[in-house]
Amino acid sequence: MSTATLKDHAATFREPRFATFFTGHVISRIGDAPVPVAFALAAYQVSHSAAGLTWVLLSLWATRFLLMATGGRLADRYDRVRVMIGADVLRLVAQGTLAVVVVSPLQLQSWHLCLSAALYGAGTALYNPAQIGLTPELVPGDRLQRANGLLSLVADVGFLLGPVLAGVLMGTVGFSWVLWLDVVSFAVNLGCLVRLARLHTPARRTTPEQTPPAPSETPAEPNPTEPPDTRFRASFAVMARYPWFSFGMALWFVVSLGIGLTAVAGPVIAVDSLGGTGAWSVLATCLAVGSLLGSLAVMSTSRQHPWKAASVVVTLGAVLQFVTLTLRDQLPTAVLGAAFALCALTTAACGIVWDTAYQSEIPERYISRLGSVDNFVNAAGVPIGMLLGGLFADHYDTVFLGVSVALVLLCIPAARLAGPGRKSAA
């Protein structure tokens, strides 16, 4: 990174509210990192079947889906920091209670894991939309993309370290210590959030913090003197006024579907066509490294990147990956690895631009509810893609072509509606 860019990041951390939030966020992410793999191993050890793991995952995702709308509505209606505090208390209780059960004379059973996963998922459904709406309140508008880049980088590092930490902890001190580590991380984050609540809170913005679009593109806003509509369904009316968001969301759904499809098709293709599981390990590592590089790429520049360009870039990256998978018999594994890394890089980088886009352009009072829609659509796309990967294992080339065509068709209106007159979607 250049000296100017490093100074920009240092200036971001001089924002006391962001520095406080980021400290707790990093600690919490470290505690969360080994949890998915450790939970999967524990569920299988307890049930001795794949069904046990399935029920734990269903418990986690079901509560996230059911409460996602509630999380967005609460975060737009009440103080977002306090919503996040409540959500982390719920997750701390979920992990702490399970940790007590693990170390107690009681025999650990699958329903214990399912209940903890359900409470954890509920807390996450409340926490994430509030965080999306809070981030623009912590930094000035010109530093929002850098702040999102830092948060994305933490997620990427956690993704890389998680399996390693889980393997070490489960193989040495056991499952209970994974849970206690998560409990401690939540406690630290709660302390940071409590301190954040006591710091000065700037007035919530009511209009985008950037050059407004041309008059012909300006959406009709409700009368500011009227009481705000706090119902979740009001977010769909907002989406109708911002069609670029609706098409962008549709594009991200197909990108997420492609991620889920790759997660299933990748190992199958690696075993059948690329020489075995070692090839998939290489491709999976390329995905992780590419995602990390994507976050770093956005952070390395102070320029605000427009969503119009990012929508094209993320489409090209995903289509390139599917083209190389289709041509897998004619290409060396190294070429596929490069395509996987590039796809992950563009997805991570453009994801930061996308988050910054609607945080900057959507009226503040709707951000968390639209963040709920964003979380829901992306979370739904991955399992649907996995389902496609399982159902059409004999027709992967056709599925790859179909997903690529859908990406291109959605990219055209997503880029066009972003509009050349916008200062930035970020």
pLDDT tens-digit readout, 118-142: 999 899 989 988 998 888 888 887 7
Q: How confident is the model at residue 302 (pLDDT cuts 50, 70, 90)?
A: low
In this predicted model, which residue has the larger pLDDT, 371 or 202? 371
Cβ pair 291, 347 in contact under 8 A? yes
235-418 matches 8-198 in CATH topology: yes
Those residues whose C-beta lies under 8 Å from the C-beta of residue 190, and which sit 6 or more positions away, are 24, 85, 88, 89, 92
> Quick one: which of 110, 91, 101 has its CA closest to 182?
91
pLDDT in tens, 147-195: 888 888 888 888 778 777 888 888 888 889 999 999 999 999 999 999 9
Cβ pair 359, 135 in contact under 8 A? yes
For residue 363, give both structure tokens: 């009226």
Rounded CA gap, 111 and 379, in Å?
A: 24
Residue carrying structure tokens 């509009």: 419
Amino acid at 128: N
Average pLDDT over residues 321-334: 89
**For residue 210, which phi and psi values (nearest 5 degrees)?**
-165, 175
pLDDT in tens, 18-57: 889 999 999 999 998 888 878 877 887 887 776 676 788 7
Rounded CA gap, 27 and 159, in Å?
A: 14
Neighbours of 54 (CB within 10 A): 12
In this predicted model, which residue has the larger pLDDT, 123 or 382? 123
For residue 13, give both structure tokens: 């951390």
**For residue 224, which phi and psi values (nearest 5 degrees)?**
-65, -15
Whole-prediction pTM: 0.75
Rounded CA gap, 329 and 332, in Å?
A: 8
For residue 160, give both structure tokens: 């890389």
Where are the domains positioned within the chain?
8-198, 235-418
Cβ pair 146, 369 in contact under 8 A? no
- Which SS3 state, helix, strand or coil, does residue 246 take? helix
Domain 235-418: which topology? Growth Hormone; Chain: A; (1.20.1250)
pLDDT in tens, 220-244: 455 544 555 666 677 777 888 888 9
Domain 8-198: which topology? Growth Hormone; Chain: A; (1.20.1250)
In this predicted model, which residue has the larger pLDDT, 241 or 402? 402
Average pLDDT over residues 255-261: 90
How many helices and strands (H and E) does the chain possess?
A: 15, 0
